[in-house]
Amino acid sequence: MTDSTEISPAARPLDFIRQIIAEDLHSGKHQQIVTRFPPEPNGFLHIGHAKSICLNFGIGMENNSPCHLRFDDTNPSKEESIYVESIKKDVQWLGFDWGRNLFYASDYFDRLYDSACQLIKLGCAYVCELSAEEIRTYRGTLTEPGKESPYRDRTIAENLDLFQRMKEGEFDEGSRVLRARIDMNSPNLNLRDPVLYRILKVTHHRTGDAWCIYPMYDYTHSLSDAIEGITHSLCTLEFEDHRPLYNWFLDTLKTEYHPRQIEFARLNLTYTVMSKRKILQLVQGGYVEGWDDPRMLTISGLRRRGYSASAIRKFCSDIGIGKKESWIDMSVLENTAREALNETAPRVMVVLNPLKVIIDNYPDGQIEEMEAQNHPQRPEMGSRRVPFSRELYIERDDFMEEPPKKFFRLGPEREVRLRYGYFIRCVSVVKDAATGEITAIHCTYDPETRGGSAPDGRKVKGTIHWVSAPHAISCPVRIYDRLFLTENPDADRNVDFKEHLNPNSLTILDNCMLEPSLGKAQAGEQFQFERQGYFCTDLIDSQSGTPVFNRTVTLKDSWIKTDKGSHKP
């Protein structure tokens, strides 16, 4: 990707973070800036991470400066290399390049250990033997000060010895921690002697069994930023309270670099959940078919759903960066997909819920090839030929025996245009004697209207899509809808968010009729099924010749609004 304006159009005013960076560059505080995206490899990336990725890497591209990808892998009990791989893939797929700047916090374990010893020597850290419960009690509460640990005033030599023995595996998990020695009376709980290291006798996905003590986030993060010479360390609002601690580490250890932490509001989207913990529950509980289920707002799910990387980048740019907790409506994301796909997706005709049409006056056995444009607004995308014959399929929704007022489609005695085909008029309806279900309709066509226009200038109000029955390719199409029924599934603490799952988030239509050109669709190709929506061939389940389609998003439909329900797909 070379066009950085695509990511942040020049016309858009700078967000507050970019303003700070511009000032720092202008004032000479920094000649070059360095940002970083620091995921923990304990799950797949989602749309919320995309916001952070676009921010950090976007700033990098705009300023021609590096943006590091650093895995914050300090908790081996939750982290796995499969997540490392998926994260790298997703960042690249989104269009970003970390170049040589791929790092792991675990790369710094030795330096982090040395710095911890340094803190001990400074009298700023000590080995504490309080249990986890005791530490919690000693920490105090929001309104009451904490109490100092009885181990707080050990000698430096004793602390050094104990810490080394922690490292050497002499002690049990949970029996000791290394703590910073700051202020048990601080109104900021993060400063009440936070834990720096804990004993975890767990194999790490990169360092194996080399370590049995692992550093905590706050300590690791600030030092890793300093080690890498990060200038602006961008994180979400909940870390605002941690900033004094972040700074304390850097100030106390007098690091060469002192990055500035700046916090921005995380992304909230309606009709979904964003927390990794909850997403994990959906995956592990089998509520979805995996991290990359097209209903998931993971990067891999969105990719499979048919969202392009540029659409996701556009979305992240559109929503902006601020400090106000905000909820973006899902329709904004959906609209971004439509906007992107409208430009690029070739148009095709597919009948999702087929209804047989027999054209009584069309010669039996005759086949014509109709010229259809691939994109009416972009003639350079060319055209294709679609076969037309006596028996066709049309959409069940496009026929009503007793049509309401503003229904422009087919009904008894009504005439409509078959797109790129002929005008047809319905002459009779065939029903199943037992169920009363309409099984087919009979029509006549006007041979003068070939291609879809009438020489006599007569107008029809409706144009519907169709597929020639003998030529149609039957195919499953997966209709995806929002995963949740409520705007904020998390809203009520007393109700499990899974209660709000949409039971109809996936509908498989297994007898859809594709126009023949779709037989050679490649996995991942995107199309507009005219009058229906944007669809793509599934990346995983599509075989060449036997495609499986996923609905990315519907087209806007103003008929559905006037009709109020009876027409809902």
Q: Does 453 bind RNA (CB under 7 A)?
A: yes
Catalytically annotated residue among 266, 356, 396, 498: 266
Separation of alpha carbons 55 and 33, rounded Å: 13
The dihedral sign for the CA sequence 185, 187, 188, 190: positive
Q: Considering the complex, what minimum distance in angstroms separates the CB of residue 543 from RNA?
A: 27
Asked if 377 interacts with RNA (CB under 7 A), we say yes
Decide whether 169 or 322 has the Cβ nearer to RNA: 322
Task: Pick from 22, 265, 280, 469 the residue near RNA by CB under 7 A.
Answer: 265
Binding mask 46-75 for RNA (x = CB under 7 A): --------------------------x-xx
The H or E element spanning position 423 is: strand 423-431
Among 417, 478, 500, 551, binds RNA (CB under 7 A): 417
What does each C-alpha distance from 346 to 108, 342, 552 come to in angstroms? 50, 9, 14
- With CB under 7 A as the contact rule, the residue among 10, 406, 455, 522 that binds RNA is 406
User: Pseudo-torsion of CA 36, 41, 42, 43, nearest 10°?
Assistant: 80
For RNA, the closer of residues 98 and 423 by Cβ is: 423
Which region among 112-120, 151-159, 361-369, 402-410 touches RNA (by CB under 7 A)? 402-410
| Residue from the set 382, 447, 451, 470 that interacts with RNA by CB under 7 A | 451
Indicate the DSSP class of residue 343: H
DSSP per residue over 312-337, as a string? HHHHHHHH---SS---B-HHHHHHHH
Q: Name which of residues 340 to 359 contact RNA (CB under 7 A).
A: 342, 347
CB of 450 to RNA, least distance (A): 8
For the record, the structure tokens of 481 come out as 């809808």
Pairing outcome for strands 473-480 and 438-446: unpaired
**How would you classify the pairing of strands 195-199 and 177-180?**
antiparallel
By the rule CB under 7 A, 495 interacts with RNA: no
Marked catalytic residue, from 40, 80, 129, 368: 40
Q: Is 199 in the site for RNA (CB under 7 A)?
A: yes
Query: Cβ-count burial of 435 within 10 angstroms (0-12 exposed, 13-18 middle, 19+ buried)?
Result: exposed
Closest among 64, 111, 58, 75 to 228, alpha carbons compared = 111
d(C-alpha 290, C-alpha 284), whole Å: 8
* 190 scored as a contact of RNA (CB under 7 A): yes
Residue 326 in contact with RNA, rule: CB under 7 A: yes
Any contact of residue 78 with RNA (CB under 7 A)?
yes
Q: Establish whether 40 is a catalytic residue.
A: yes
- Interface with RNA by CB under 7 A: which range of 291-299, 412-420, 436-444, 468-476? 412-420
Q: Which residue has the tokens 């009438």?
A: 454
Residue of 26, 28, 238, 402 that binds RNA (CB under 7 A): 238
Secondary structure of residue 208 in the 3-state scheme: strand
Of 67 and 180, CB closest to RNA? 180
402 lines the binding site for RNA (CB under 7 A): no
Closer CB to RNA, 293 or 534, in the complex: 534
Q: Does 40 bind RNA (CB under 7 A)?
A: yes
* x/- track of binding to RNA for residues 281-320 (CB under 7 A): -------------------------------------xxx
Tell me if 452 contacts RNA by CB under 7 A. Answer: yes
Which of 286, 324, 434, 503 lies at the binding interface for RNA (CB under 7 A)? 324
Asked if 241 touches RNA (CB under 7 A), the answer is yes
- The contacts found for 129-138 with CB under 8 angstroms, 24 or more apart, are 129/175, 129/176, 131/174, 132/174, 135/177, 135/195, 138/184
Site for RNA in 113-172 (CB under 7 A): 130-132, 135-136, 139, 141-143
266 tagged catalytic: yes
DSSP-based three-state secondary structure for 29: coil
According to CB under 7 A, which one of 1, 82, 122, 189 is a site residue for RNA?
189
| Cα pseudo-dihedral 208, 210, 213, 218, rounded to 10 | -70
From 27-35, 83-91, 439-447, 524-532, give the range in contact with RNA by CB under 7 A.
524-532
The smaller minimum CB distance to RNA, of residues 166 and 506, is found at 166
- At 140, list the tokens: 């105090």
Residue 217 touches RNA, criterion: CB under 7 A:
yes
Please, what is the Cα angle at 23 between 20 and 28, to 5 degrees?
130
Please state the closest distance from residue 420 (CB atom) to RNA, in A: 5
Pick 221 or 304: Cβ nearer RNA: 221
User: Which pairs with CB-CB distance under 8 Å and at least 24 residues apart come from 282-286?
Assistant: 282/483, 282/498, 285/498
Within residues 549-568, the interface with RNA by CB under 7 A covers 555-559, 561-562
CA-CA distance, 105 to 207, in Å (whole number)?
11
Task: Please report whether residue 338 would count as binding RNA according to CB under 7 A.
Answer: yes
- Determine which helix (DSSP H) or strand (DSSP E) holds 110, and give its type and residue range: helix 109-121
* Crossing angle between the packed helical segments 243-253 and 109-121, to the nearest 10 degrees: 80
Residue 546 Cβ, how far from RNA at the closest point, in Å? Answer: 25
Q: Binding-site residue total for RNA (CB under 7 A)? A: 91
In the complex with RNA, which residue's Cβ is closer, 74 or 517? 74
Instruction: Please report, as a single letter, which amino acid is at residue 489.
Output: P
CB of 264 to RNA, least distance (A): 9
Amino acid identity for residue 54 in this structure: C
Examine residue 497 and tell whether it contacts RNA (CB under 7 A): no
Catalytic residue among 276, 347, 409, 551: 276
Backbone torsions φ then ψ of 5, nearest 5 degrees: -65, -25
Positions annotated as catalytic residues are 40, 266, 276
